[in-house]
Structure 1
Amino acid sequence: MMDLRFFLPVSLLAFGLATVFAQTSAPGRACEEKNGTTCEECLNNVTCLWCITTKTCVTYPVKTILPPHALCPLNNARWGLCWMNFQTLIITLGVLGGVIIIALLVCMFCCCKCENLGAKRFEARKQRQANKTKTKRDERKAEMKERHDEIRKKYGLSGQNPYSKFS
């Protein structure tokens, strides 16, 4: 078991490093070699960016999050899909991310609120049961006292208790 705990993180780290080195060790001109081709051929490589206005295939500038306007305007840049411009892609991903975050917050709020409502319902039910039990107990107590009083009357013991002076 100890070997598995050690092996899994090490293998994941090695796989990650191999992936990074494989991407960075590839020649930087791979995208530029596809300049005379189509958008589909350019975007077969994930690191490439296609610019419609200049019909060039360039390596995606990973140091900047968004490609600079001098390289290609966002509404003319294509990355991943030829039919969707980069600006639309960014807006769509931003909106989807926002919707997911809002949905998670709403779910967390509703779950916490529903959990509290469930606890309140549970407490109210327990309180009702306790009240019913107390009412039944008081009724039984009153019935027993009435029965005892009837028995005392029957046998003439309805007078004052002779031991009440000592208490």
Structure 2
Amino acid sequence: MVPRVARGSTPYWRLPLGGAALLLLLIPVAAAQEPSGAACSQNTNRTCEECLKNVSCLWCNTDKACLDYPVRNVLPPASLCKLSSARWGVCWVNFEALIITMSVVGGALLLGIAVCCCCCCRRKRSRKPDRSEEKAMREREERRIRQEERRAEMKTRHDEIRKKYGLFKEENPYARFENN
């Protein structure tokens, strides 16, 4: 028997099945992208362009060696190749320049976002009400005043009707009853 589930929610047994199916689909893709160690070392003593055709390779300019990129580290260790002579992706940018450029661009982006946020917050805080807001506030106040006037008119009309039929509430409703 299939458990009843509220509309729009996913049954608990479908989630692992979907995850397993996704994993099975991604395993062949990951296996196809996994570089072979021999592919990079074959390009040693050739050109940088030939080495960097394979994305998993790192070119060391000092000893003209094509090495496997150490994926466990973010940056290649100095024992493998100095940052000033290491190339990855393109031959005309070394890792030092890449790190400096990326940090400057990242810092500029963060600074720009912070400035935009501050400007937007300040503008919202110090913004005077614009004409449409002022007009809406005026109309609201006028409606409130008219409503109060109508209430007062209705009260006087009701009081007149109460007086006419003797239902008017007097100051002291417990007055002495006189028999003449």
Instruction: Give the TM-score normalised by the residue count of structure 1.
Output: 0.62
Tell me which residue corresponds to 1:14.
Answer: 24
- Structure 2 Cα separation of the partners of residues 125 and 9 of structure 1: 57
For residues 18-167 of structure 1, the aligned pairs below 5 Å read 18-24=28-34, 26-107=35-116, 126-134=136-144
- Structure 2 Cα separation of the partners of residues 16 and 100 of structure 1: 33
* Comparing 73-82 and 132-141, the one that deviates more: 132-141
Change (3 A) 1:73 1:6: same
Q: CA-to-partner distance for each residue in 1:34-76, whole Å, 9 max, x for gaps?
A: 0021000000000111111111111111112111112111111
Q: Which runs of 5+ in 2 are unaligned?
A: 1-9, 154-168, 174-180
Where 1:74 maps in the other structure, the secondary structure is coil
Where 1:100 maps in the other structure, the secondary structure is helix
Where 1:129 maps in the other structure, the secondary structure is helix
Where 2:92 maps in the other structure, the secondary structure is coil
Root-mean-square deviation over aligned CA pairs:
4.5
* Comparing 30-39 and 124-133, the one that deviates more: 124-133
Structure with greater proportional helix content: 1
- Structure 2 Cα separation of the partners of residues 164 and 106 of structure 1: 69
Q: Work out the number of aligned pairs and report it.
A: 152
Tell me which residue corresponds to 1:152.
Answer: none
Change (3 A) 1:38 1:99: same
Where 1:88 maps in the other structure, the secondary structure is helix
Instruction: Give the TM-score normalised by the residue count of structure 2.
Output: 0.58
Where 2:42 maps in the other structure, the secondary structure is helix
Q: Which amino acid aligns with 1:92?
A: T
Where 2:58 maps in the other structure, the secondary structure is strand
Q: CA-to-partner distance for each residue in 1:1-60, whole Å, 9 max, x for gaps?
A: 99xx88875554334333333344x42121111002100000000011111111111111
Q: Which runs of 5+ in 1 are unaligned?
A: 145-162
